[in-house]
Amino acid sequence: MKALILGGARSGKSRLAEQWAGHWQQRSPQHEVVYIATSEPADAELNTRVASHQARRPSEWLLIEEPLELATVLRREAHPQRCLLVDCLTLWLTNLLMLEDDARLQVELQALTECLTALPGRVLLVSNETGLGVVPMGALTRRYVDEAGLLHQALAQCCDPVVLTVAGLPHFLKGTQPDD
């Protein structure tokens, strides 16, 4: 199962992904959860957010920090008895955009979409839905919103379920809540 969980800031998307991963692990204790963090904390506010996420996670979950080569990590870590939880795709996209290397951006985006369906086990992809607000004034910010929207469209084709989280409530855009 591959799930795409979208939502705005503080919408509950990460908490939902963590709940699903924890539920699977409780039902089958042999299942491992690998949390793949993509952020590179750059300021006190982001450090606080990271600490909040860390405090919520069970200590037995494995942690991999990977800001750029997400597909490589997913291919390496995927296993039928594992749940890979990626948080968050839009931070990963930002990291790639900040490299100012269009070729690298396209390689990493393509690698992610190509590897996803073939991965064994469960994959939970958490991402910020940025296309519901005003059109940003700056060129880089507009590009970020455009690239995030295109990424979400491509991943939605590969994932089931696809969930939009609003006010802590999941709204299923595709599929239903997984029960295993």
Residue 24 pLDDT: 93
- Report how far residue 148's alpha carbon sits from residue 162's, in angstroms, rounded to the nearest whole number: 15
Q: Is the pLDDT of residue 49 over 90?
A: no
More confident of the two residues 52 and 1: 1
% of the chain exceeding 90 in pLDDT: 78
pLDDT in tens, 64-104: 999 999 999 999 999 999 999 999 999 999 999 999 999 99
Q: Is the pLDDT of residue 145 over 70?
A: yes
CATH numeric code, 2-173: 3.40.50.300
Residue 134 pLDDT: 78
Our answer to whether residue 53 is catalytic in this structure is yes
Residue 83 pLDDT: 97
Q: Edge-to-edge, what's the strand order for the sheet holding 122-128?
A: 62-65, 32-37, 82-87, 122-128, 2-7, 162-166, 169-174
What does the pLDDT average to over 102-112?
97
- Active-site position among 23, 53, 79, 152: 53
Residue 66 pLDDT: 97
Residue 180 pLDDT: 62
Sequence-distant (≥ 6) Cβ neighbours of residue 119 within 8 angstroms: 2, 74, 75, 78, 84
Q: Where are the domains positioned within the chain?
A: 2-173
Q: Is the pLDDT of residue 126 over 70?
A: yes
Mean pLDDT (the chain) is 93
Answer for the pair 148, 105: CB distance below 8 angstroms, yes or no.
no
Answer for the pair 171, 11: CB distance below 8 angstroms, yes or no.
no
Residue 140 pLDDT: 92
